[in-house]
Amino acid sequence: MVDQRIVSSLVVPNTTKIVLMVVDGLGGLPLEPGGLTELETAQTPNLDTLAREGICGLHDPVGRGITPGSGPAHLALFGYDPIEHQIGRGVLEALGIGFQLQAHDFAARGNFCTVDDHGLITDRRAGRIPTEKGAELVQLLRSIQLPGVDVFVEPVKEYRFVVVLRGPDLHGPLSETDPQRLGATPLAVEPLRPEAERAASLFNQWIAQARNLLADHRPANMVTLRGLDKNPGLPTMQEVYGLRAAAIAAYPMYRGVARLVGMDVLPTGESMEEEAETLKAHWEGYDFFFFHLKKTDSSGEDGDFEGKVSVIEQVDKVVIPALVSLQPDVLVITGDHSTPALLRSHSWHPVPVLVHSRHCRSDGAMAFSESECAKGGLGRLPATDIMPLAMANALRLAKFGA
């Protein structure tokens, strides 16, 4: 894996343009042994042309056998080591609902739960209260005030919510409060280093007030907090690569991860056509575009093989011609991870990747598919090597050493 600091030290500015198109959950599996994957089943003449002209391979988002979440998978595609930069669930949950997390905000994922008269947990999910009820209780919790910080409470779904503290001198790491079993009391937030004491104390004050506010409610009469973490303050794409970077993504999670690495998140409609229009409208304003398409992943998670095939065909028909017509100097097409309909979930399988540029040294790949990419000239590569390759193909990296 190429160290991001080495890449960063070699950056030279120019006017080339890079597009990183992420077809979420792109990789798949055949439904029957010996069959074709979703991508291999789909009729994709435009992608196949790009594969023939470009160079193909398979990338591992985190490592062989590791099924990545969307957060680490996208960080890796942006060239940030997902192992070095592990980001707490509180932060990812906040990003996932579109909360505009600022530098140094401290976020926790909250669960409503049920406790008995002795304060012992009897239901860790408060009977999975409906989303409307969760939102109503969140509204109640918004009355909590803490000294020296702003407090934000946002509903997620059912019994889940997010708490964010905003203010100076908030440091981690902090322990979680869910004892992970019934019959135990929720734990206190513990500072895991001396400098974390202030943040721990503030979260504990918040929990105490929440307990009082919820005391007479049933079944949700208490809360637990998990994944307490700070916005990690990653170096921006501008700082690392010298790129004016923009994100075109319809879903909050992906807009959030893009914001974590300093991209401008462009307003866009949700459809493929609208996203392509957004790209065209902002083409002159940026050097790098992260272009995200969600529906492949959603249909994979639904176990809808045919649906995923159909989305891929629509991408080929609608999006690819629009991208190609803009003549990016470097066009990278890949997924953040595999989501085989067969598994109805993210998976560990490596992900097809295609790099198209004037300088890419084409291989013999005849189509954009798992099997052709497995034979491709890029070979098998860690996802974090994709950005260095894109930068090199854009002639934006100087020589290392004399």
165 binds a copy of itself (CB under 8 A): no
230 binds a copy of itself (CB under 8 A): no
Question: Of residues 58, 258, 333, 383, which one binds a copy of itself by CB under 8 A?
Answer: 58
Residues between 238 and 257 with contacts to a copy of itself, criterion CB under 8 A: none
Parallel, antiparallel, or unpaired: how do β-strands 18-23 and 288-293 relate? parallel
Residues 209, 348: Cα–Cα separation, whole Å: 42
User: Which range touches a copy of itself (CB under 8 A), out of 82-90, 145-153, 169-177, 312-320?
Assistant: 82-90
Strands in 264-265's sheet, in edge-to-edge order, are: 264-265, 245-248, 288-293, 18-23, 330-334, 351-357, 55-60, 379-382
Among 17, 46, 89, 319, binds a copy of itself (CB under 8 A): 89
Q: How many residues bind a copy of itself (CB under 8 A)?
A: 69
The conformational region for residue 113 under phi > 0 = left, psi -120 to 50 = alpha, else beta, is beta
Nearest to 304 by CA among 106, 49, 41, 17: 41
Residue 232 interacting with a copy of itself (CB under 8 A) = no
Choose, by CB under 8 A, the member of 39, 42, 96, 172 that binds a copy of itself.
Answer: 96
Q: Residues 24, 93, 105, 158: which binds a copy of itself (CB under 8 A)?
A: 93
- Pairwise CA distance, residues 168 & 93, whole Å: 22
| Interface stretch with a copy of itself, choices 56-64, 165-173, 178-186, 208-216 (CB under 8 A) | 56-64
Please list every residue from 301 through 360 that binds a copy of itself, using CB under 8 A.
Answer: 340, 342-343, 345-349, 358-359
Q: What residues between 16 and 35 interact with a copy of itself by CB under 8 A?
A: 29-30, 33-34
Give the C-alpha separation, 226 to 230, whole Å: 12
Q: How many residues does the chain have?
A: 402
Using an 8 Å Cβ cutoff, are 90 and 162 in contact?
yes
Nearest to 61 by CA among 50, 53, 70: 70
Beta-carbon contacts of residue 278 (< 8 Å; ≥ 6 apart): 248, 266, 267, 268, 269
Nearer of residues 272 and 387 to a copy of itself, judged by Cβ? 387
Q: Does 173 bind a copy of itself (CB under 8 A)?
A: no
CB of 318 to a copy of itself, least distance (A): 25
Residues of the shown chain interacting with a copy of itself in the complex, contacts defined by CB under 8 A: 1-3, 6-7, 10, 29-30, 33-34, 37, 53, 58, 62-73, 82-83, 86-87, 89, 92-93, 96, 340, 342-343, 345-349, 358-359, 361-364, 370-371, 374-375, 377, 379-381, 385, 387-393, 397-402
